[in-house]
Chains A and B, each alone.
Chain A
Amino acid sequence: MSIFSLFQFDFIVRAFEAALLLGVLAPLVGMFLVVRHYSLLADALAHVSLLGVALAIFFKIPIFIGALFTSILAALSIERLRRDGRVLGEAVIALFLSSSLALSIVIINLKEGINVNLISYLFGSLTTVTERDVFILLGLVMATLCFLLFYYRELFLLSLDEELATVSGVRVRRLSALFMILAACTVTASLQMVGVLLIGALMVVPVLTAMQFRLGFRLTLFLAVGFSLLSVVSGFFLAYYFDVASGGAIVIVAVLIFSLVTIFDHLRTAFFQRRA
């Protein structure tokens, strides 16, 4: 079967569309997480979303609403705790990551049969993507692009130095809160496709790969989107042909690209140092 014959199936087309949208969205948000030393935030929010899924099943409310509400609440709480200085930056993330997982486990124990639904969210599957999911992702990509276009300078300065951003007139608290809500929405919308355990990697690894080229901020951002799309498309086909979980395949490709770029960069540096 040729690659293109795959697209005769509607669910494959939908999955491919979702993968492309995710490939654009994840590094756009991930870039600001990485430079603000928030790389693990996506993982924490994904675990909180899992708690949201468990709560939604437990209380019989729509899963997406449950996951979105809990992850936004957690994102804003993390930001508030970090800003107040009551808990150190990375520790806040660890606190939310482990406590939400603990609560999820308790809920699974309380209600039988819930674990089957939850496990599908751990690893994700692109093939279960519905048309509604694609539209939600499309809306989120558009919203993220508008947000970045409008607030790019402020977000850049906020990432560079928060104090400098405040003195330059950036409303730091409001902008940080908006960004955290965006990150929570991205994680929740990607959950079903990539899974709780891997969404963080998709948001972070392409950015780390792009950073190996030691370019400016804008170029690094574009390059990260490029590497992410490459990982997503390659992972998508590998997942189909080898019949493995799409999230795993996509992240393996992303990590492979990172390893190749890093090794090449080391060899190049060593070569030039020897010549010098």
Chain B
Amino acid sequence: MSNTVNPIIECHDVWFCYGNAIALQDISFRISEGEYVGLVGGNGSGKTTLLKIILGLLSPSEGEVKLFGQKVSEFRDWDKIGYVPQNVFRGDLGFPATVREVIESGHLKANTFWCRFGTQGCLDVLEVARRSGVSHLLGKRIGELSGGERQRVFIARALVSAPRLLILDEPTAGIDSETEEQFYAFLNELHMSGLTIILVSHDLEVVRREVGTVLCLNRRLVCHGKPESLEQKEVLEALYGNKKNILHHEHTDHP
């Protein structure tokens, strides 16, 4: 579905097994620069496993993943990728770090000796904090923030190295609906500025509304296409099996 210009992620025939259990089966797709992709699937569908393979945290049992044209195992330009993990900052709430320090920790780009002491090529912390709506929190400790505020801080951290790809794993879990709305407006703004985004979510309505492309996963790739695919009964059944009772919205008729 996606075009072949500037592929940022290329997955070729990826398989992954946890022991004898197959977690991912023959996954192939490409994501091009500027796309806003939603990765959806039920619990245990392999979403997080696929993300971990893309990010080099797990090695595929078979197949190959390329980031910006390079094999993940040989990829070194990690500053091109901003990542916000699921349940971000699971650590101790007493961890002694301010919001400014957390955002600054995204300035990890230089591989050469002297460059590592500077912030060349990175965005200004104050500017990123302002764009992310956390400039008023810079002096606060990370453990003192609410879930929504913390999420924004870690997005600011991911953005400070001026990445070309932003990956978010279930970013709005545990966040109230108003904050969630503001959060997706912010993501949309980032996408409009040219950033490629991969959003992992359980919320089909949000994915259908926000993204330009969906990757539906249930251990294998069920569908890769327009978000409208999520309205098709066969796609939903392939995603969730017969476990899910599909209810249609009263006014929009969306599942």
Provide the residues of chain B in CB contact with A37, threshold 8 Å: 92
Provide the residues of chain B in CB contact with A216, threshold 8 Å: 96-98, 100-101, 141
A169 & B96 in contact (Cβ 8 Å cutoff): no
B66 at the interface (CB under 8 A from A): no
Binds A, one of B5-13, B81-89, B216-224: B81-89
B91 & A167 in contact (Cβ 8 Å cutoff): no
Total interface residues on A, using CB and 8 Å? Answer: 25
Distance A193 CA – B91 CA, assembled complex (angstroms): 34
Provide the residues of chain A in CB contact with B88, threshold 8 Å: 161
B94 & A211 in contact (Cβ 8 Å cutoff): yes
A154 at the interface (CB under 8 A from B): yes
Total interface residues on B, using CB and 8 Å? Answer: 30
A161 & B89 in contact (Cβ 8 Å cutoff): yes
B116 & A160 in contact (Cβ 8 Å cutoff): no
Distance A96 CA – B79 CA, assembled complex (angstroms): 38
Provide the residues of chain A in CB contact with B23, threshold 8 Å: none
Q: Among the listed B89, B96, B98, which residue makes an inter-chain contact with A35, where contact means beta carbons less than 8 Å apart? A: B96
B108 & A169 in contact (Cβ 8 Å cutoff): yes
B97 & A217 in contact (Cβ 8 Å cutoff): yes
A167 & B57 in contact (Cβ 8 Å cutoff): yes
A128 at the interface (CB under 8 A from B): no
From 126 to 174 in chain A, residues with beta carbon under 8 angstroms from any chain B beta carbon are: 150, 153-154, 156-157, 159-161, 163-164, 166-170
Task: Give a binary string over B70-109; 1 marks a CB under 8 Å from any A CB, 0 the rest.
Answer: 0000001011010101001111101111101110111111
Distance A159 CA – B92 CA, assembled complex (angstroms): 11
A60 at the interface (CB under 8 A from B): no
Which B residues lie at the A interface, using CB under 8 A? 55-57, 76, 78-79, 81, 83, 85, 88-92, 94-98, 100-102, 104-109, 116, 141
Identify 6 residue pairs between A and B in the complex whose beta-carbon atoms are under 8 Å apart, listed by A's number.
Answer: A35-B92, A150-B116, A153-B104, A153-B108, A156-B105, A214-B141
Which A residues lie at the B interface, using CB under 8 A? 35, 37, 150, 153-154, 156-157, 159-161, 163-164, 166-170, 210-211, 214-218, 220
